[in-house]
Amino acid sequence: MKISVIVPTHNPDPGRLQRTLLGLRAQSLPPADWEVLLVNNASTRFPAADFFIACALENFSIIIEPELGLTAARRRGLSAAHGEIALLVDDDNLLAPDYLAVTVALFAAHPRVGAAGGRSRPEFAVEPEKWTREFFPLLALRDLGDAPQFATSLRPTGSTRNEYPACAPIGAGMALRRAAWEAWLHTSASHTLSDRRGTALSSSGDNEIVFQLMIAGWSVAYFPTLILTHLIPAGRLEPAYLAQLNRGIQRSWMQVLALHEANPWPPLTPAGARLRQFKAWFTHRVWSSPAARIRWQGACGNFDGRTTL
């Protein structure tokens, strides 16, 4: 088997999950070459069996991970995978029909690439307001252009610290080579960082995978021919959601950078963090607009993540 597609899900939206699974059914790679592992991650609401029968996927399995959290679900799926490549797909991702076939070809052509990703484009349930575009990267949307990009080292020549590569794959659509993901599975650091758990909006897991693979000697890559569509409901454009998301992402980002000697900002005491948050309220003019409040929450997350005990 060439590819194991791992789809973690917690209380999934049936409509978006169905589109994800139907997108997999439409893949051009022969069904005998891949499998789908749907990881039911501590769901209290889960579709009945006839829902999955309607999707008519071959080599489809549902496995259960009772520990809530995206990292736990991914580890469970990777541990059960039979393929030589694993593909991490969220339950609101619609893959281009050639995504699996292109992944197989790219990994064959680049044997030192341990993890790769591509373009993540939006499909919004409602038209977003113009001011929200600033925050699209928070929603796992990315397009780095038409040329492939590679990163082979965390420590640029002449640098005194590690630097996270700009072309590193995001979790949505991330493809992993077996030898590379097994290196990550055997690390303990992934358990020390908070990834998304239910409604808790942290997201350090993708970054932690990339760091661990590159420490083990693998390269990472961006390939523009890998294309997926991220299905984004209206609620994820609400100012309150974006503010909570920005704070969670920035907090966990600071933590993962510090863990891997890549954080350019110094640590803070709790009192120092609170003082900076207070000052940032005025710097960002939080009262002036929803965007200002979202920026302030990101700054607060930055200070939270740099706090030492």
Mean pLDDT of 175-201: 75
Four-point Cα dihedral 197, 200, 202, 204, nearest 10? -10
- Closest CA relative to residue 181, chosen from 107, 106, 254, 118: 107
Condensed to tens digits (0 to 9), the pLDDT of residues 91-127 reads 999 999 999 999 999 999 999 999 999 999 999 999 9
Q: List, in order of start, the domains of the chain with CATH numbers.
A: 3-232 (3.90.550.10), 241-305 (no CATH)
Name the amino acid, one letter, at 124.
Answer: F
User: So what's the pLDDT on residue 79?
Assistant: 94
* One-letter identity of residue 152: T
- Output 175 or 203, whichever has higher pLDDT: 175
Q: What is the average per-residue pLDDT within 117-145?
A: 96
Q: Is pLDDT above 80 for 190? A: no
Tokens matching residue 206: 């993708």
Residue pLDDT, tens place only, 258-297:
989 999 999 999 999 999 999 999 999 999 999 999 999 9
Q: What is the distance between the alpha carbons of residues 235 and 92, in angstroms, rounded to a whole number? A: 14
Averaged pLDDT, 219-242: 97
What residues does 61 pair with on adjacent strands? 37
How sure is the predictor about 158, in pLDDT bands with cuts at 50, 70 and 90?
confident
What's the CA gap between 113 and 106, in Å, rounded? Answer: 9
Does 192 have pLDDT greater than 60? no
- pTM of structure: 0.94
